[in-house]
Structure 1
Amino acid sequence: MWKPEACIFDLDGVIVETSDAHFKAWQRLAESLGISFGEEFNEQLKGVSRRKSIEKILALEDRQLPEEEIQRLMDKKNGWYQDSIAELTPDDILEGVPEFLTSLQQMEIPLGIGSSSKNAPYIIDYLQLNDTFGVIIDGNKVDNTKPDPEVFLKGTKALNADPSKTIVFEDAASGVDAANNGGMISVGVGSQEYLGDANLVISDFVGLTPQKLFSQLNEK
């Protein structure tokens, strides 16, 4: 049976759901600036860096701010977000994910995290998954954000894997694009509507085995 040389996972929305914490923090920030911010617009911020997210929010009202104010706002949003994620425990790992990761480990497939979030190491620690992933490439380690493939290419290099034989799991369109741009095998986790450019889209990991996934990819 074919199997990949490595598997790299986005974090938010794939391993654990922190999108609500992000949404509330961004909404609180936007409203402090007098800018209306809803859940539909929040979809555009998935997989996007903190700075680019601020720029997108300001663009809603055609606003510009000096660099020091942008930095202050980024720090404020991150403080609110960190307060929320500090309450995470292993019980917050999404259903089906622990079993899927354990099966991959039993198959001796190297695993990594590729996340735009600069908080990824904290979240992995709260979830007690430090021993699961051989590498964590996050927003602190890249210069270019998704859809640039840098985060995933650095992951494959650290795992000594061929990008074309690496599966990337993503819940954001920008992340799927990043995987595709890096020549990797992209698996979207979520809605076909948002993730249709992925090689394969799964709704979640519940009841999914690596063998079943690899078989589905082989049929593509």
Structure 2
Amino acid sequence: MKLQPKALLFDLNGTMIDDMQFHTKAWHQILNEDLGATLSYEEVKGHMYGKNSEVLARIFGKEHFPEDRVTEISFEKERRYQKAYFEHLKLINGLDDVLERAHQHGIKMAVGSAAIPFNIDFVLDNLNIRQYFGAVVSADDVTESKPDPETFVKAAQLLGIDPADCVVLEDAPKGVEAARNAGMQCVVLTTTHEKDEFSAYDNILCFITDYTDPKVKELF
């Protein structure tokens, strides 16, 4: 698997931090208690990809809420998520070492996430890791969310690296599909989804539970 990529492109939630249950809980509360949906926890979990506006559109239909209300709901959801998750905020095991070793090897790095800047800043600044990333692509920076390749293609462009020389780190099938659509190989963390949920994709280098896995070192 030794590829010696020129760039590593990281998804954020579930990939750099193991926080997806906190997002799901926040959405479950807002969707059901505030907005009147009747979704189970598992049903909400199935919607945990893409922009917040896209989550609302999938559940309630497009244009159900005016744009200013979507923004209001989005920030309230993130406020609740951050309040609940803050005391648990930490990098997934071994990632601090991976970031430093990649930096020492001259490998460029970027964040490519469907999160809004409010949440990306919450992670990068509270964990003091912003200096490792030459580019950050958020929900606000793209027209189309994953599985569209725009997020990862834009990250590669900002770093000045050819897509074929990038390796994506992801935890979600839609993210792996986005990487494939961008012509990129992928390392999958099994923090959120099981291996069998990725059977449709042929661009997966390996599965890991965290960054202490010896397979990660083979990337350098």
TM-score by length of structure 2 reads: 0.84
CA contact (8 A) 2:5 2:219 kept: no
> Deviation at 1:88?
5.5
1:75 aligns with 2:75: yes
Following the alignment from structure 2 to structure 1, what is the Cα–Cα distance between the partners of residues 175 and 139?
13
Following the alignment from structure 2 to structure 1, what is the Cα–Cα distance between the partners of residues 121 and 81?
14
Following the alignment from structure 1 to structure 2, what is the Cα–Cα distance between the partners of residues 72 and 108?
41
Aligned to 1:51: 53
Tell me the alpha carbon deviations over residues 18-45 of structure 1, each in whole angstroms, 9 at most, x when there is no partner. 2122111101112123323333223323
Which ranges of structure 2 fall in alignment gaps of 5 or more residues? none
* Structure 1 residues 64 and 105, CA gap change in structure 2 (3 angstroms): closer
1:208 aligns with 2:210: no
Aligned to 1:34: 36
Aligned to 1:166: 166
> Deviation at 1:133?
1.3
Q: Secondary structure at the match of 1:29?
A: helix
Number of paired residues?
Answer: 209
Following the alignment from structure 1 to structure 2, what is the Cα–Cα distance between the partners of residues 193 and 100?
26
Higher relative contact order (CA 8 A, sep 6+): 2
CA contact (8 A) 1:7 1:112 kept: yes
1:193 aligns with 2:196: yes
> Deviation at 1:94?
0.8
> Deviation at 1:73?
2.6
Aligned to 2:8: 7
Matches within 5 A, 1:147-162: 147-162=147-162
* Structure 1 residues 131 and 72, CA gap change in structure 2 (3 angstroms): closer
Match for 1:203: what amino acid? Answer: I
Which ranges of structure 1 fall in alignment gaps of 5 or more residues? 215-220
Match for 2:123: what amino acid? Answer: I
1:107 to 105, 108, 123: 105
CA contact (8 A) 2:4 2:219 kept: no
Match for 1:199: what amino acid? Answer: I
CA contact (8 A) 1:115 1:139 kept: yes
Q: Secondary structure at the match of 2:132?
A: coil
Following the alignment from structure 1 to structure 2, what is the Cα–Cα distance between the partners of residues 109 and 101?
9
Aligned to 1:217: none
CA contact (8 A) 2:12 2:111 kept: yes
Match for 1:194: what amino acid? Answer: E
Q: How well do the aligned residues superpose, as a CA RMSD in angstroms?
A: 2.2
Match for 1:38: what amino acid? Answer: S
Q: Which moved more, 1:79-88 or 1:165-174?
A: 79-88
TM-score by length of structure 1 reads: 0.84
> Deviation at 1:87?
4.1
* Structure 1 residues 141 and 171, CA gap change in structure 2 (3 angstroms): same
CA contact (8 A) 2:24 2:48 kept: no
Match for 2:94: what amino acid? Answer: G
Q: Which moved more, 1:101-110 or 1:153-162?
A: 101-110
Following the alignment from structure 2 to structure 1, what is the Cα–Cα distance between the partners of residues 42 and 124?
28
> Deviation at 1:151?
0.9
* Structure 1 residues 160 and 70, CA gap change in structure 2 (3 angstroms): closer
> Deviation at 1:106?
1.9
Q: Secondary structure at the match of 1:131?
A: helix
